[in-house]
Amino acid sequence: MTAALFRLAPGALAGRGPGDVVTLDGAEGHHAATVKRARVGEELLVADGSGLLGQGSVVEVADGLVRVELALLRPGAPDGPRFVLAQALAKGGRDEQAVEAATELGVDAVLAWQAGRSVVVWRPERAEKSLRKWVTLAEAASKQSRRATVPEVRGPVSTAGLAAEMARADLALVLHEDATTPLAGLDLPELGDVVIVVGPEGGIDPAELAAFEAAGAVPVRLGATVLRSSSAGPTALAVLCAATRWR
């Protein structure tokens, strides 16, 4: 079984190498020592958000802290383009399911999009709380999947704001059931941002699609079937990762 991953303080792995000892304290130290009951000699993975992934063994367990001696330190962040999922708000927790699965697949950033046809609306008084839930989901999914980094999560962005994001991207893709260009086999940039847009339950409004195309976006299809808002983004990420990171 793969060793559990724990988060160190930002920058804690800077300048470190095999033989160095790092400390898990605070909430992570408590979780490792008290909840997970880490034991001396147990193998753990550690990350500090910088893209480095450390592997080592526990050398001390105390009240609320665990010390780990590093045996290996390697880059954990992938090379190549940066994948950004623009996920429309969706009912029934399907947007949250998409965030969780996309994180496990390696998405680098997630934008919450308040689409015109979204049934769910993040009003100002609830937007911060709703976004925090997405952030928490991404953090938990990153640990579960043993990722060295946690994806950036922000929003909500309007259609105009999303179009501006797409105009700045190196490639912008809109998943659309009427598109004729298949996502599989599409030429991808070697570096830079690739934005993937997923609409809500009712689909993307024609005016929104026109705005995205005016910003340089390319409508693409995944296949012959129509996927839910919860599965379309992760499926697209799997296709893109298979063409880049998983080879």
**Are the C-beta atoms of 89 and 116 separated by less than 8 Å?**
no
The residue out of 41, 75, 109 marking a domain boundary is 75
Nearest-5° Cα angle at 109, 106 to 113: 125
Residues 64 and 180 in one domain: no
Q: Return d(Cα 103, Cα 135) in angstroms, integer.
A: 10
Q: Return d(Cα 175, Cα 227) in angstroms, integer.
A: 10
Q: What is the pLDDT of residue 232?
A: 96
Residues 98 and 18 in one domain: no
Q: What is the pLDDT of residue 223?
A: 86
* Parent domain of 56: 5-75
Residues 68 and 166 in one domain: no
Q: What is the model's pTM?
A: 0.91
Residues 41 and 21 in one domain: yes
Q: What is the pLDDT of residue 2?
A: 83
Residues 124 and 231 in one domain: yes
Residues 91 and 204 in one domain: yes
Residues 107 and 45 in one domain: no
Residues 69 and 86 in one domain: no
Residues 238 and 201 in one domain: yes
Residues 135 and 221 in one domain: yes
Residues 185 and 136 in one domain: yes
The residue out of 49, 75, 101 marking a domain boundary is 75
Phi, psi of 63 (to 5 degrees): -70, 100
Each of the 247 residues of the chain gets a pLDDT tens digit; together they read 689 999 999 999 999 999 999 999 999 999 999 999 999 999 999 999 999 999 999 999 998 899 999 999 998 878 889 999 999 999 999 999 999 999 999 999 999 999 999 999 999 888 999 999 999 999 999 999 999 999 999 999 999 999 999 999 999 999 999 999 999 989 999 999 999 999 998 899 999 999 999 999 999 999 888 899 999 999 999 999 999 999 8
